[in-house]
Chains A and B, each alone.
Chain A
Amino acid sequence: MGLYILRRIGMGCVMLVALSMLVFALLRLAPGDPVDAYIDPSAPMSPAELAATRARLGLDQPIPVQYLAWMKQVLAGDLGYSLQRNHEPVARLIAERVGPTLLLMGSGLLVAIVIGVSAGILAGVNRGRVIDVGLSLPAFVGISSPAFLTALVGLFVFSVNLGWAPSGGMRTPGLAPTTGDLLRHLALPALLLSIGHAALIMRYMRASLIEVLNQDYVRTARSKGVRERWVIVKHAVRNALLPVVTLIGSTLGAAVGGAIFIESVFNWPGMGLMLINAVENRDYPVIMASTLVVGACVLAANILTDLAYAVVDPRIKIA
């Protein structure tokens, strides 16, 4: 078990290095120049001054050299300084923002799992009945709606029209930070973030449960006189969860994309918002570090998924 986790972490590190190379190369191939942001519109710089700025930032070196220089610093624990944002250390920028992002993504995922799994069970048990159709139709809408659309429509309906939730930010300015205030700000973006995933999880859970309910061991449980409720909860649901656990693990990466949209729509002070700003300004150190952190989170989540799988299914031995 311990060895397995170590091996997975090792593989994860290799993948992170590969990811960083890819992102580094792609960034340099993309149009745009970080030096543009240094140009004061009221006082044009001469080509010599531009070159000097470039040299000062190390941007005149060949790309592999730049990459190795960056990597050497990262390994020494230094994520560098933002090219914008008053040259703040990237590590501090990320440390400030990773918490809100994890909070938003984690609660979104939790809501998605709770809603998706329970709706899937309800629909699967009542297959073909009104309740199944009533749950499946909104699920199809949820799967088909892109994150930016649900975010904007949700913002419009619940915040602007109904006024049930604040329209953005994480805290009410000028108020002492309280958990209640945080939850009020968190509820709407987390819910909207969860819609697509909840719908997907529900469809999987429904299909999986319908298949499991036809299995011989479910009939065996009934033949023992187990109450129907317990047949479903104890004998069927745990087996039906196996493919859903895989699904949740493999969609975590995609969840990051959705979170970035939600953060920018709701002005949530997380990594997503920072990443969008950084990409717009070609703030290479921030982009690179954010990518690494997000990648590391996804890899960690995948390892946790595998461990969860082994907990749910005793036939899987992790060694």
Chain B
Amino acid sequence: MSGRPPLLEIEGLRTVFTVRGTEIAPVNGIDLAIGAGETVALVGESGSGKSVTALSVLGLLPRVARIAAGSVRLHGEGGAIDLARLDPEALRTIRGSRIGMVFQEPMTSLNPVLTIGDQITEPLLVHGLATRAEARERAIAMLDSVGIPDPARRLASYPHELSGGMRQRAMIAMALVCRPGLLIADEPTTALDVTVQAQIVELMTGLQESLRMGILFVTHNLGVVADMAHRVAIMYAGRIVEEGPVAEVFTAPRHPYTRGLLASVPRPGEALRLRRAGQKLAAIPGQVPSLMALPTGCAFAGRCPLAVDRCRTEAPGPTVPSPARSVRCHRWDAAA
């Protein structure tokens, strides 16, 4: 955690869904810590459990899901509280005020029949942090700081009157209007145009510096991770398989899955060069195992080029290859 005071500490978190009488665990015992003012990227494919992790922190899981084990400690002035054990009403007072959340789809995540102003002032009003007039002033200031032109007039707009990028800016303004210490961003750039993505990433980085908040950034976009995260955690089949400072993990990945992910990102001109050479883009062979039938050993063993017998029988525990890093692999020190 590189010397920062702790903000959020997830330990042994296990979230289970009950589907037709069977329990599956999209999040199967993860540890993750975010320091104050730190951006941690949680990276993984669809179904790896990264979004469920984000929703678990805020207690926004669907009806069929529950946190089965582990703790989610949020640090603050009055010490740490375990969000996983908090009653719904106490958790509600934390949502929006101390932890803000931005979602993937700005088109569907804003209420179509309420004005932008109504939706942005709402967190301030429900948490009793401002009067109606103050909330309005703060909403205008917040819209201004997320780069929405003519913010006072925009308060009366409805979501459908804004472009996708503007809506995501409004979402960010809504998540940050109470000045939370932690922002959880669940794929906030995925639904946007590439140019708009860059603007949103730049905006979030800038806001983080001025507001000194921690960010849990859930994404599958490795380019965005490199641009804005301090640390990265790679998730696979409900577990964090590798974690560490972004620069170190990206230059010297220890887990074969991380290596595969990084190798799957095409570099400019590469696709053309490979096609001329009659080769294909690198991809990880095989598929993510079904959560209904996880193998006994390492979940990645079936797709891993380095797998040995031990990988198929014994799930690897966390190893510390170098300070501030961790990897769950029996063969992390084997040559790539």
- Give A contacts to B, CB under 8 Å: 215-217, 219-227, 230, 234-235, 238-239, 312-315
- Residue pair B60, A225 in contact (C-beta under 8 Å): no
Do A221 and B93 contact each other (CB < 8 Å), given the known contacts A216-B105, A226-B122?
no
Distance of B23 from chain A, by nearest CB (Å): 19
Which chain B positions have C-beta within 8 A of A230? 126
Q: Which residues of A contact B171 (CB under 8 A)?
A: 220
Whether A239 and B113, one on each chain, are in contact in the complex, defined by CB atoms closer than 8 angstroms, is: yes
Complex Cα spacing A225 to B108, Å: 18
Secondary structure of the A side of the interface? helix
Is residue B112 contacting chain A, with contact meaning CB distance below 8 A?
yes
Whole-angstrom distance between the alpha carbons of A216 and B101 in the complex?
12
| A230-B125 Cα distance, complex, nearest whole Å | 12
Contact partners of A223 in chain B: CB under 8 A: 58, 60, 95-96, 100-101, 103, 175
Please report which residues of chain B, range 81-125, place their CB below 8 angstroms from some CB of chain A when the two chains form the complex. 92-97, 100-101, 103, 105, 108-115, 122-123
Q: Are B174 and A224 in contact (CB under 8 A)?
A: yes
Contact call A222/B93, Cβ cutoff below 8 A: no
Select from chain B the residue with minimum beta-carbon distance to A219: B60
> What is the number of residues of chain B that contact chain A, defined by CB distance less than 8 Å?
29
The residues in B between 136 and 175 inclusive whose CB is less than 8 angstroms from any CB of A are 158, 160, 171, 174-175
Q: Are A224 and B96 in contact (CB under 8 A)?
A: yes
**For residue A217, which residue of chain B has the nearest CB?**
B111
By beta carbon, the residue of chain B nearest A234 is B114
Q: Tell me which of B93, B100, B111, B122 contacts A239 (CB under 8 A).
A: B111
The 10 A-B residue pairs with the shortest CB-CB distance in the complex, in nearest-first order = A225-B96, A224-B96, A225-B95, A216-B108, A223-B101, A217-B111, A216-B109, A224-B123, A314-B158, A220-B109
Evaluate whether A315 and B112 lie within 8 angstroms (CB atoms) in the complex, with A223-B60, A226-B122 already known: yes
Q: B111 touching A221 by the CB < 8 A rule?
A: yes
Q: How far is the CB of B42 from chain A (nearest CB, A)?
A: 17
Please tell me if B127 contacts chain A, counting CB pairs below 8 Å.
yes
Residue-wise, chain B 123-135 has the 8 Å CB interface mask toward A (1 for contact) of 1001100000000
Known A-B contacts A225-B97, A225-B126; A220 and B160 likewise in contact (beta carbons under 8 Å): no
Bound form: Cα–Cα A222–B174 in Å: 13
Name the one of B94, B111, B158 contacting A220, with C-beta atoms under 8 angstroms.
Answer: B111
Q: Are A239 and B95 in contact (CB under 8 A)?
A: no
**Shortest beta-carbon distance from A318 to chain B in Å:** 15
State whether A225 and B101 are in contact (beta carbons under 8 Å apart), knowing that A217-B112, A239-B113 are contacts in the complex.
no
Question: Which residues of B have CB within 8 Å of A225?
Answer: 92-97, 123, 126-127
* In the complex, residue of chain A having the shortest beta-carbon distance to the beta carbon of B124: A224
| Minimum CB–CB distance for A4 against chain B, Å | 20
Q: Are B112 and A314 in contact (CB under 8 A)?
A: yes
Which label, helix, strand, loop or mixed, suits the secondary structure of the B interface?
A: mixed
Contact indicator A235/B111 (Cβ below 8 Å) = yes
CB distance from A132 to the nearest CB of B (A): 14
Task: Tell which of B93, B97, B108 touches A217, judged by Cβ atoms closer than 8 Å.
Answer: B108
- A318 CA to B105 CA, complexed, in Å: 28
Neighbouring A residues of B95 by C-beta, 8 Å: 222-225
A315 in contact with B158 (CB, 8 Å): yes
Query: Do B174 and A312 touch across chains, with their CB atoms under 8 A apart?
Result: no
Other-chain contact of A314, B60, B103, B105, B113 (Cβ < 8 Å)? B113
Q: Which residues of B contact A235 (CB under 8 A)?
A: 111, 114
In whole angstroms, what is the CA distance A219 to B62 when docked? 10
Closest A residue to B59 using CB positions:
A222
Minimum distance in angstroms from A228 CB to a CB of chain B? 8
* Interchain CB contact under 8 A, A219 and B103: yes
Chain B min CB distance to A123 (Å): 16
Give A314 to B162 CA distance when docked, in angstroms: 13
A235 CA / B58 CA spacing, docked (Å): 19
CA gap between A227 and B93 in the complex, in Å: 9
Which B residues lie within 8 Å of A312 (CB)? 113
In chain A, what residue has the closest Cβ to B95? A225
A292 to B100, CA, bound (A): 59
Least distance between B90 CB and chain A CB atoms (Å): 11
Most chain-B Cβ atoms within 10 A of its Cβ — which of A217, A220, A235? A220
Question: Smallest CB-CB separation from A221: which chain B residue?
Answer: B111
B-side contacts of A220, CB under 8 Å: 101, 103, 109-111, 171, 174
Tell me the bound Cα distance from A312 to B158 in angstroms.
Answer: 13
Residue of A nearest to B115 (CB): A314
Q: Which residue of B lies closest to A213 (CB)?
A: B63
- A selection of 10 A-B contacts at a CB cut-off of 8 Å is A220-B101, A223-B95, A223-B100, A223-B175, A225-B126, A226-B96, A235-B114, A238-B114, A314-B113, A314-B160
Complex CA–CA separation, A89 to B122 (angstroms): 60
Residues from chain B with a CB closer than 8 A to the CB of A221 are 111, 122
Segment 242-295 of B: residues with Cβ below 8 Å from A: none
Q: Are B112 and A313 in contact (CB under 8 A)?
A: yes
Q: How far is the CB of A311 from chain B (nearest CB, A)?
A: 10
Complexed CA–CA distance, A313 and B159 (Å): 12
Query: Which of B289-304 touch A at CB < 8 Å?
Result: none
Evaluate contact between A224 and B126: CB separation under 8 angstroms.
yes
Other than the known A222-B95, A239-B113, what 6 A-B pairs have Cβ atoms closer than 8 Å?
A220-B110, A223-B100, A224-B174, A225-B93, A235-B114, A315-B112
A313 vs B160: C-alpha distance in the bound complex, in angstroms? 11
Are A222 and B60 closer than 8 Å at their CB atoms?
yes
**Residue of B whose beta carbon sits closest to that of A230:** B126
Residues of A within 8 A of B160 (CB): 314-315
